[in-house]
Structure 1
Amino acid sequence: MMIVDLVDEVDFKERLIALGAPVTSEQSLPEVQEAVLSWLQQYPEQTPFIKDLCLSMQKENTTVLPEVYQVMAAFS
């Protein structure tokens, strides 16, 4: 049996929340994207942390759902 590490919408939101991003688990991915981009405009010093999060999820041996990947790409 093969086990795949999958980053889905829930995982992504949890990781953003852990970084202090103003995101809730109830928000849709477009709402998350808008909230984080707005937050990064107000607090640009947080940008490296968001970028590191996205890079680490891409480098790890994980599968990122396409809709999550689209949001991650908006943070690059």
Structure 2
Amino acid sequence: MMIVDLVDEVDFKERLIALGAPVTQEQSLAQVQSAVLSWLQSYPEQTPFVKDLCTEMQKDNTTVLPEVSTVMAAFG
């Protein structure tokens, strides 16, 4: 049996919230992308943490849903 780590919209939002990003579970991914990009403009010191989060979530044995991957790409 193969076990696959899956990063879905809920996981992604939870991890962003844990970083302190102004995100809620109720927001769409488009709203999350906009909110985080705006947050990073106001608090550029958070950029490395968001990038590290995205890198961590895209490890070799992790499957990221395409919609989530698209938003991650917007963060650099």
TM-score interval for Structure 1 and Structure 2 normalised by the shorter chain: over 0.9
* Residue identity matched to 2:4: V
**TM-score normalised by structure 2 residue count:** 0.96
Task: Name structure 1 gaps, 5 residues minimum.
Answer: none
> Structure 2 regions of 5+ residues with no counterpart?
none
Query: Size of the alignment, in residue pairs?
Result: 76
Identity of aligned residues (%): 84
Alignment of 1:53-72 (within 5 A): 53-72=53-72
The aligned counterpart of 2:49 is 49
Report the residue type matching 2:17 in the other structure. Answer: I
Displacement of 1:60 in angstroms is 4.8
Question: Which aligned segments of 4 or more residues in structure 1 are displaced greater than 4 angstroms?
Answer: none
What does the per-residue CA deviation read over 1:16-69, in whole Å, with 9 as the maximum and x for residues that have no partner?
A: 000000000000000000000000000000000000000111125210000000
TM-score of the superposed pair, with normalisation by structure 1: 0.96
Map of 2:36 onto structure 1: 36
